[in-house]
Amino acid sequence: MDRDQEKVDSFARRAFVVGGLQGIGVSILGWRLSWLQLVEGERYTTLAENNRINVRIIPPSRGQIVDRYGVPLATNLQNFQVIVTPEQSENLEKTLRDLQSVITVDERDIAKAIKMAKRSPSYVPVEVRDNLAWEEVSKVELALPHLPGVTIQAGELRSYPYKDSTAHIVGYVGRVSDVGKMKDSLLSLPGFQVGKSAIEKKNDLDLRGKPGRAEMEVNVHGRPVRQLGIQPPVPGARLILSIDAEFQRFVQQRLATERSASAVVMDVETGEVYACVSHPSFDPNAFSGGISAMDWEQLRDDPTLPLNNKAINGVYPPGSTFKIVTALAGLESGLINGSWTVTCPGHFDLGKSRFHCWKSGGHGTVNVVTALAHSCDTYFYKLATVIGIDRIADMARRLGLGSVYGFDLPEEKPGLIPDVKWKREVKNDIWHPGESLVSAIGQGAVETTPLQLATMLSRVVNGGKAISPWLAGYANEIPLSINLNANAPKIDIKSSNLALVRRGMEAVMEQGGTAYGSRITEEGMTMGGKTGTSQVRRISMAERASGVRRQEDLPWHLRHHALFIGYAPTDTPKYACCVVVEHGIGGSAAAAPIARDLLLEVQKRDPKSRKLEGTS
């Protein structure tokens, strides 16, 4: 018990020390209180009296997005909202009921407003309804004296006049998600919207503008008495795109004949994109006011992916359109030339494997021009065994396939150009010779986007300039991507070889060519191109033996993709396009007629004739 007593004594002594320290702490607090409140009290009272200036942040107006002619693609509509400040309304419920007798207000909105009012202090205004029509605004204004606490507030609502036609390039806006909320006082303003996809997202900072500040003198109750100073907000920049809005709409409507398709039309010299369309699309206006969960789920779960811009992030095997690349790789290797020929019996044997040409009867003897015109697979199988995959892959990359360009839309995808190194490093396997054959006709692991195929074609027909596609011209007068291709490097390809391939693409549209049926018949208009059909599913040996099933008999999602890349006019090419019809079965039947219509229309509209200029 003695030792216990020792412990208790030690505890008591030391507890007094700790308690003493805390006593000193509390005394300091007390001394500080008397200093602040008694000695300095008057000084602070004066400071508090003067402390009547409230700073309010004024949100800037979001910048317009316009097409190359200045036609608005994204603008702001006035959005009138009714708000009520619970503190100023004697009876919130009654005020809301009175409001209901003036304009239509849902029971749901009333319940929501009352709930919001309960959740925040009474001086914080609560939104009751938005998107008021003009008559409703004037009705409320008239009744204001009988509606204590109610005010009308003019906000902005993002509007997209071209709706679904430009949804994938312009994008949409939405409320700030919580993650970014801390950094910027502007972002924490109630209802502030930021870009959520496409240009709205990529150029959000340009479009956002700078907030203004209003210094208000407030009375004892916190109500503004007068405005002391105002620093007006700087509206966001006007963004000028290379798009031709009417042409974009034309393309959208033309693609609407198919279930799921995408297309890109661009300038072969400057790289500016005139139309970039993915069908089906969605109405971005639905997002501005907040989209319902049901509509959102429907869009998200649709197998034709309406929310995706398939023109830049749809990856497809390019099929026979890739033969342009293989042909150039062969000609540039020096191992073959224009008069090198292959005799096609309808198939090609490599070791024990047999590779089939699409035409089982064979094409007879073909050279590079006729092989392109008839899309003879055997010619390119043989060519692949001569030059090997690495030459093909190298040419593909030089022509702009297999990587991203840093395009003006954030959703761009790189696709894939396979070679020996890729197989070893990524797949951990050796390259089989048969894979070269499959790759040479754009099947197997080769994957490209429509934007890449249009760019590849542009580089071929512009004389070998490595241009990249772009969309965003100016933010006000500040150039964005407009000078992207000013110093585009030359791809080192002999012009005679480029001419041979172009001759082949012209022959595609001539009698006997794979797209003869879709040729331009109008006087003075010309085009060249290449068809492509890419397999979604392998045709097995057994199936080939028993007769290949007709594509039309297959379920939609197993049918071939139909592709076409084309350019116009043939003598001095200006425009290039790529059309991909998902599961459209055949390039010549499904994609070529659309491409013809697009190239015809773009030549008529001739957007290239008017240069893009910034506004100040």
Partner 1 sequence: MSLFQSHIHSDDMSILGRLRQLAWGQIILICVLACIGFLCLYSAAGGTIDPWASAQIIRFLFSLGLLLGIALLDIRLIFRSVWVLYGGTLILLLLVDVIGHVGMGAQRWLDLGIMKLQPSELAKVTTVMALARYYHGKELADVRKIKNLLVPSIIILMPVGLVVTQPDLGTGMAIIFAGTAMLFVAGVPYWLFIVGILGAAGAVPIAWQFLLDYQKNRVLTFLNPESDPLGAGFHITQSKIALGSGGFSGKGFLEGTQSHLNFLPEKHTDFIFTLWAEEWGFLGSIGLLTLLSLIILYGYWIAFRCRNHFARLLAFGLTVNFSIYVIVNIGMVMGLLPVVGIPLPLMSYGGTAMLTVMMAFGLIQSCNVHRDAKLPRSL
Of 353, 411, 368, which Cα lies nearest the Cα of 544? 353
What is the C-alpha separation between 227 and 590, in angstroms, rounded?
65
Helix (H, G, I), strand (E, B) or coil at 478: strand
What is the C-alpha separation between 156 and 234, in angstroms, rounded?
15
Name which position in 26, 77, 205, 539 contacts partner 1 (CB under 8 A). 26
Among residues 35 and 556, whose Cβ is nearest to partner 1? Answer: 35
Name which position in 6, 93, 106, 543 contacts partner 1 (CB under 8 A). 6
String of DSSP letters for 42-94? HHHHHHHHH--EEEEEEPPPPPPEE-TTS-EEEEEEEEEEEEE-GGG-S-HHH
Per CB under 8 A, the segment of 34-42, 354-362, 473-481, 547-555 that binds partner 1 is 34-42
Among residues 33 and 426, whose Cβ is nearest to partner 1? Answer: 33
Per CB under 8 A, the segment of 51-59, 522-530, 544-552, 584-592 that binds partner 1 is 51-59
Rounded to 10 degrees, the C-alpha dihedral 388/390/395/397 comes to 150
What is the C-alpha separation between 139 and 168, in angstroms, rounded?
39
Name which position in 20, 40, 478, 512 contacts partner 1 (CB under 8 A). 40
Among residues 23 and 290, whose Cβ is nearest to partner 1? Answer: 23
Name beta bridge partners: 276: 264
Name which position in 41, 289, 303, 489 contacts partner 1 (CB under 8 A). 41
Instruction: Kindly identify the residues of this chain, within the stretch 85-104, that bind partner 1 according to CB under 8 A.
Output: 86-87
What is the C-alpha separation between 412 and 389, in angstroms, rounded?
26
Residue 123 touching partner 1 (CB under 8 A): yes
What is the C-alpha separation between 105 and 96, in angstroms, rounded?
9
Residue 30 touching partner 1 (CB under 8 A): yes
Name beta bridge partners: 529: 566
The CA distances from residue 208 to 415, 430, 458, 493, in Å, are: 32, 51, 34, 44
Residue 188 touching partner 1 (CB under 8 A): no
The contact mask relative to partner 1 for 53-72 (x = CB under 8 A, - = no) is -x------------------
Among residues 23 and 364, whose Cβ is nearest to partner 1? Answer: 23
Residue 526 touching partner 1 (CB under 8 A): no
Could you tell me how many helices (H) and strands (E) the chain has, helices first? 22, 21
What is the C-alpha separation between 262 and 90, in angstroms, rounded?
58
Residue 354 touching partner 1 (CB under 8 A): no
Among residues 41 and 517, whose Cβ is nearest to partner 1? Answer: 41
For residue 469, whether the previous peptide bond is cis, meaning omega lies within 30 degrees of 0, is no
Distance in Å, CB of 114 to partner 1, minimum: 10
The CA distances from residue 352 to 342, 344, 373, 409, in Å, are: 20, 18, 29, 47
Per CB under 8 A, the segment of 25-33, 144-152, 471-479, 489-497 that binds partner 1 is 25-33
Name which position in 101, 104, 120, 227 contacts partner 1 (CB under 8 A). 120
Place of tokens 């702490």: 25
Per CB under 8 A, the segment of 44-52, 336-344, 419-427, 467-475 that binds partner 1 is 44-52
Task: Tally Cβ neighbours within 10 Å of residue 375.
Answer: 28
Number of residues that bind partner 1 (CB under 8 A): 50
Name which position in 20, 161, 222, 512 contacts partner 1 (CB under 8 A). 222
Largest CA distance in the chain: 119
Name which position in 20, 37, 91, 154 contacts partner 1 (CB under 8 A). 37
For residue 569, whether the previous peptide bond is cis, meaning omega lies within 30 degrees of 0, is yes
Contact 510, 520 (CB under 8 A): no
Residue 225 touching partner 1 (CB under 8 A): no
Among residues 27 and 403, whose Cβ is nearest to partner 1? Answer: 27
Active-site entry in 320, 468, 518, 534: 320
Per CB under 8 A, the segment of 65-73, 105-113, 150-158, 219-227 that binds partner 1 is 219-227
Distance in Å, CB of 189 to partner 1, minimum: 15
Among residues 123 and 556, whose Cβ is nearest to partner 1? Answer: 123
609 is catalytic: no
Residue 15 touching partner 1 (CB under 8 A): yes
Name which position in 135, 145, 183, 220 contacts partner 1 (CB under 8 A). 220
CA 529 to chain centre: 27
Residue 25 touching partner 1 (CB under 8 A): yes
Identify the burial level of 256 via C-beta atoms within 10 angstroms of its C-beta, where 0-12 means exposed, 13-18 middle and 19 or more buried: middle
Among residues 22 and 298, whose Cβ is nearest to partner 1? Answer: 22
Name which position in 1, 107, 108, 119 contacts partner 1 (CB under 8 A). 119
Query: Where do contacts with partner 1 occur on this chain (CB under 8 A)?
Result: 3-4, 6-8, 10-12, 14-15, 17-19, 22, 25-26, 28-30, 32-34, 36-38, 40-45, 47-49, 51-52, 54, 86-87, 117-123, 218, 220-222
- Residues assigned a catalytic role: 320
